[in-house]
Amino acid sequence: MTEPTGARDASATRPNKLSGSASTAATINTTTTITTVRNTSGAHIQLTDVSKIYHQQAVAAVENFSMDVQPGELVMFVGPSGCGKTTTMKMINRIIEPSSGSIQIDGREVLSLDPNELRRHIGYVIQQIGLFPHMTISENISVVPRLLGWSKAKISARVDELLSVVQLDPSTFAGRYPKQLSGGQQQRVGVARALAAGPPVVL
């Protein structure tokens, strides 16, 4: 959720639905090695009794879910398909609106914020990659920095930095288009794009 210092498994308290309190269900799988990065930056995220009921569905996709994520903490949702993991993340950046409950980032209720402005400060790695096919890799990565009014020099330096971080040579890949990359390379570009503006929250 935020830049990671540690890892916490926010598993569903029921096998088929994300519900209840993540703090009471938090466990660390000792069979899995998790690399952590010490960093005090990030944002404080609080979900309180959040529910989502889709139109004309009798069963909630997410029901009375609460969690508290401290700045710099990495939280992973683990559960079967359809239990509400993606729905919960999309409610944080208001791609999906919650039916009830409260979602706050650094004490500010997300429903009171302009959704476009909110999303400019949240990095989002789309499951289906979601690169713009008509834009070069450099242009894809720099979408949010351009919206924020960064200078061309700052954008260029940031694109080169992030391509190097995801192990794609800037001189080779910056000018290419998504269709010229493999699926794995496109996913790396998606991660770079989510990190481009240094957001305090990454989903």
Q: What is the mean pLDDT of residues 2-30?
A: 44
Compute CA distances 68 → 10, 51, 75, 195, whole Å. 10, 16, 10, 22
Q: How confident is the model at residue 41 (pLDDT cuts 50, 70, 90)?
A: confident
- When pLDDT is averaged across residues 184-189 and rounded to a whole number, the result is 95
Q: Where are the beta strands (DSSP E) in 25-147?
A: 45-52, 62-69, 73-76, 100-105, 108-109, 122-123
In this prediction the pTM is 0.71
Query: Terminal CA-to-CA distance of the chain, rounded, Å?
Result: 5
Residue-wise pLDDT for 83-105, tens only, equals: 899 999 999 999 999 999 999 99
Kindly state the average pLDDT of the residues 58-68: 92
Encode burial over 118-135: b for 16+ CB neighbours within 10 A, e otherwise. bbbbbbbbeeebebeeee
Is 3 in contact with 202 (CB distance < 8 Å)? Answer: yes
pLDDT band at 57 (very low <50, low <70, confident <90, very high): confident
Per-residue pLDDT, averaged over 142-164, amounts to: 97
DSSP bridge partners of 14: 17
Looking at the predicted structure, is the pLDDT value of residue 36 above 90? no
Nearest to 44 by CA among 27, 60, 68, 26: 68
The domain spans of the chain are 6-119, 137-202
Average pLDDT, the chain: 83
User: Using alpha carbons only, how large is the chain's radius of gyration in Å?
Assistant: 18
**3-state percent breakdown (helix, strand, coil) of the chain, nearest 5:** 30, 20, 45
Q: Report whether 191 contacts 125 (CB < 8 A).
A: yes
The fold of 6-119 is: Rossmann fold (3.40.50)
Task: Give the residue, 4 or 7, on which the prediction is more confident.
Answer: 7
Q: Report the pLDDT value the prediction gives residue 49, as an integer from 0 to 100.
A: 97
